[in-house]
Amino acid sequence: MFGSIPVWEMLVLVVVVLATLSLATPESESNQQVLEVSEITGEMRLTSRASMDALGLQDFQIGPLATIALDVHPIQSQGCTECQTIPTGFHISGEVTITELIDSAGRNGRVEGTLNITYLRESTDTHTLREWFNVDWNAGSASSHWVGMLHHTPAKWTPSEEFSSTFLETAQGFESRTGPFVSFHSVGETSREIEGCLPGGFSCSKASQSDYTMIANFTEPRTPSLIAHPENWHMSSSNQSALDQPEGMDGIHSILSLDDTVASSEVWSPDSNATPTAMQTWSINTSNSPNFSPMTPFFQALGLPSISYDVPDGTWTEADFSHYSTGVITNEQGELVLSLVRLDT
């Protein structure tokens, strides 16, 4: 079951894809027009357990090959009544084919799936206030569908890309200074080749063959398509002591550091009429819970602000409903600052 997979691990592949979404302009290229990505193609060797689990391939050996062909379009949401600025982002859709799969019995196989990603961000010139994402991986029994929201309180500072601190310029292009190896260079005037190592892929390094190679093709900025803004979440009351132990978000426990359970009657849900069948709340130990900044060099190098989240003091609540499971973080002021939904597929 995919429900046991931490959402942050599931997004490892997505983070790699999102990293190619803007053609950055280092200082040496500052006079060039900034373009936006229109399509992404390439291959990725799934050399880490996290990258396998991200695609629902827990029963197969590490090392298959994923071939990616994705289209990218800019979007803008409408209907957000609480937003200070209009949320903008992108929609990614396309095919992912995974070959060279080997199960525990030594049998070969392949998986063909479609990936649909929607990402929105509410921001000012210098700060990000909220982010929304919808990741739908449709691949039969390996399918998964996650929806989430990040509310940064205080707002997250998002300075312009700083190539000098993250990347070293070489004769071939740019390469990361720290973290998983990443390198990129221009291919003509409207394409870029990106290659590097996945997090957790211990056999990959600068001196070895890369885990992935992608080509991102760019075009002049296009008019964003309008989409409906994600629905607001609703808080209601429920008798937690009378409910079962939730199971739909068990994987998050391996990411967050949680202390004792706490009594709570508050439950958050995207459906105001939904009633939970299971619910539990824990206090968060922020001294041991990591701050999430997956693959920051990708984002800074390619012009997209890095996805990062600082876990606040507060509580983590899991709840199971009839057709989905939720996980939310509320801070000490009772504000909803992170929400996740795992939809049944």
**What's the average model confidence in pLDDT over 179-191?**
84
Q: Over the stretch 53-94, which tens digit does the pLDDT of each residue have?
A: 767 788 888 888 989 999 989 999 999 999 999 999 889 899
Give backbone dihedrals phi and psi of 50, rounded to 5 degrees, phi first: -65, -40
Q: Over the stretch 273-290, which tens digit does the pLDDT of each residue have?
A: 888 989 999 998 877 655
Lowest mean pLDDT among 128-132, 153-157, 294-298, 312-316: 294-298
**What's the average model confidence in pLDDT over 94-113?**
90
pLDDT of residue 253 exceeding 80, the answer is no
Q: Over the stretch 2-57, which tens digit does the pLDDT of each residue have?
A: 333 333 344 444 544 444 455 443 444 445 567 888 888 999 888 777 677 767 78
Asked whether the beta carbons of 6 and 58 are under 8 A apart, the reply is no
Please state the separation of Cα 242 from the chain's center in Å: 34
- At residue 240 the predicted structure's pLDDT band, cuts being 50, 70 and 90, is confident
Strands 278-284 and 336-343: unpaired
The number of CA neighbours under 13 Å toward the Cβ of 274 is 22
- Average pLDDT taken over every residue of the chain: 79
Hey, which bits of 124-242 come out as E strands?
Answer: 127-138, 144-157, 167-169, 174-176, 182-186, 191-196, 212-219, 225-228, 234-237
User: Distance (Å, rounded) from C-alpha 261 to C-alpha 183?
Assistant: 44
What lies within 8 Å, CB to CB, of 305 at 6+ separation is 121, 128, 158, 299
Asked whether the beta carbons of 302 and 272 are under 8 A apart, the reply is no
Q: Over the stretch 303-331, which tens digit does the pLDDT of each residue have?
A: 344 556 677 788 999 999 999 999 999 99
For the record, the structure tokens of 302 come out as 């390619």
Give backbone dihedrals phi and psi of 209, rounded to 5 degrees, phi first: -70, 140
Whether pTM > 0.75 for this model: the answer is yes
Choice between 145 and 301, residue whose per-residue pLDDT is larger: 145
Instruction: Please report the pLDDT score of residue 290 as a whole number.
Output: 53
- At residue 227 the predicted structure's pLDDT band, cuts being 50, 70 and 90, is very high
| Share of residues in the chain with pLDDT > 90 (%) | 24
Asked whether the beta carbons of 157 and 139 are under 8 A apart, the reply is no
Nearest Cα to Cα of residue 46 among 68, 31, 23: 68
